[in-house]
Structure 1
Amino acid sequence: MKIIEVNKLPSAISLNIGALRSTSKRPGVVEALPEVTYVRPRVVVDGREVAKYAKVCGFNKAHGVPMLYPHMQAFPLAMMLFGSRRFPWPAMGLVHLGNSAKLHQRINVGDELRIEMRTGELIAHEKGQIFTLHARALRAGALVWESTWTLLRLGVKQPRGPAFVSALIDETPLSHQADFFAAAGIGRRYGAVSGDINPIHLSALTAKFLGFRKAIAHGMWTKARALAMLMPREAVDKAEVIVEFKTPLFLPARASLWAVRSEDGALFEVRNAKGDKPHLRGRVTY
């Protein structure tokens, strides 16, 4: 396993330029991803950054540091991988199929974290090649948070690995819980906070340039927005959430939250305003 230590992050613009430049990659059959771990050895949880992230996603101050906040600290490491020669496919056009996160211990403002992101496994899919990335956060050597990103490279003709199986097959009926509005500019606002400035999220014009009829909301924003409505109204010590992304949420849009709740969590979906088309499906426990 090659370890790459990153003490100073490139800018979001340079990371995205690197992703654009990767379009020239033309790999043959990929048997496995190279074993590589990117590390940010010292990331201090900044209260101002937390507040900005919480505001754009709908969390309140009582939530503390939202459990998906570490994803933002790991995301630039994934972008560095995608723009490097180590990653076999072009970065543009990757589809985020699913994302899971587990909070092992409460994270607080001022904590010093070690953020790691490593390459994972290949999984075969009918539309191409799935690959996984694994991220984690450590505080004083103890694991406090971990996450798995499930991504799809469309069009791969000979995908490797076991066949993809959904982790969310519970067919329990859900009931309408709430509605929310995803404004036309939410992609720009979330991108400014998260560093994810993929053009498909920023405006209708830039999205059309890449083949989309409108800008689409970040999947991780939609996930966080749902959690802001589902999580207890105070900070939690432990939690776990898994989602699978279904259909794009085109901006602007009204969306609806559907769920069945229990004492320690919920099965949920974010759907369109009519409630007949899912944008994501998930399960959260706390």
Structure 2
Amino acid sequence: MPLTDVESAGDVVLRRAPRLLPTLARGVLNGTGKRPRPDAVLPATRLVLPAARIDPARVAAYARLCGFPPTGPLPVSYPHLLGFPLAVRLMGSRAFPLPLAGLVHTIHLHPLAARPLGFPRALAHGMWTFARCAAEAVPPGAAPVRLTAAFRAPVLLPATVTYTRRDAPDGTGSTFQLRGGPAAGHPEGRVHLYGTVTYGTATR
């Protein structure tokens, strides 16, 4: 195994996953002073981790937290955790044209951190909300599947939300959504997230 990362034709082959906290700190430093530009071009670099390791204990903890079955196939949303450190390294580099923000934020922890950004209370993390819906939307053992989701509004904490799913008559998949309770302008509840599940198609 090489002792350093290997770069070739725009690809950087990593010998191990980046350490998250130092990578986040470097991203904050590199992002200081950056301003988004409409003509910004994303770097062509691609990070590759050939020997990505899956820790069974971490998978089990993730499954419990998000409502997936304790045994069976890898939770459909878990690959996001494997790719997240690589995404942070890409977005935290000097070549990335946008500032690094919103990945790890105290707005999910305390209302005092959320208020300066216009939120009266702390927010549920979007990827947990997505994973919790995915645990309900994808039947155990259904593989392969293609899962898509769109975020419409944050979930303020504490909150009571309603999850609904509608299966396609031909059995090819389903649609789902997460709604809040009735509110001004949203008598049926505000849509926080909606998505689709299609069976027999590999997730990309």
Any conservation in 2 of the 1:269–1:278 contact (CA below 8 Å)? Answer: yes
Corresponding residue of 2:142: 236
2:174 maps to 266
Is the contact made by 1:62 and 1:235 (CA closer than 8 Å) also made in structure 2? no
- Matched position secondary structure for 1:91: coil
Alignment correspondent of 1:15: 23
Is 1:46 the counterpart of 2:55? The answer is yes
Q: Give the structure 1 partner of residue 159 of structure 2.
A: 253
Question: Is 1:212 matched up with 2:125?
Answer: no
Q: Which runs of 5+ in 2 are unaligned?
A: 1-8, 183-187, 200-204
Instruction: Give per-residue Cα distances to partners, 1:91-114, cap 9 Å, x unaligned.
Output: 225xxxxxxxxxxxxxxxxxxxxx
Higher strand share: 1
Aligned residues: 183
Change in Cα spacing, 1:259 to 1:19, as seen in structure 2 (3 Å) is same
Identity %: 36
**Counterpart residue type for residue 264 of structure 1:** T
Compared CA separation, residues 16 and 211, structure 1 to 2 (3 A): farther
Which of 68, 80, 84 is matched with 2:89 structurally?
Answer: 80
CA distance in 2, matches of 1:30, 1:258: 40
TM-score (norm 1): 0.58
Question: 3-state DSSP class of the match of 2:160?
Answer: strand
Residue 205 of structure 1: CA displacement?
3.0
Distance 1:212 1:257 in 2: 23
Q: 2:80 aligns to what?
A: 71
User: Structure 1 residue 247: deviation in Å?
Assistant: 0.4
Task: Give the CA deviation at 1:31.
Answer: 4.7
Identify unmatched segments of 5+ residues in structure 1: 94-195
**Structure of greater Rg:** 2
Q: Deviations over 1:237-278 (max 9, x none)?
A: 200111111001112211111222132321111111344200
Change (3 A) 1:89 1:58: same
Q: TM-score, normalised by structure 2?
A: 0.79
Question: 1:283 maps to what in 2?
Answer: 196
Alpha-carbon distance between aligned partners in 2 of 1:17 and 1:61, rounded to the nearest angstrom: 34
User: Amino acid of the residue matched to residue 164 of structure 2?
Assistant: W
SS at match of 2:165: strand
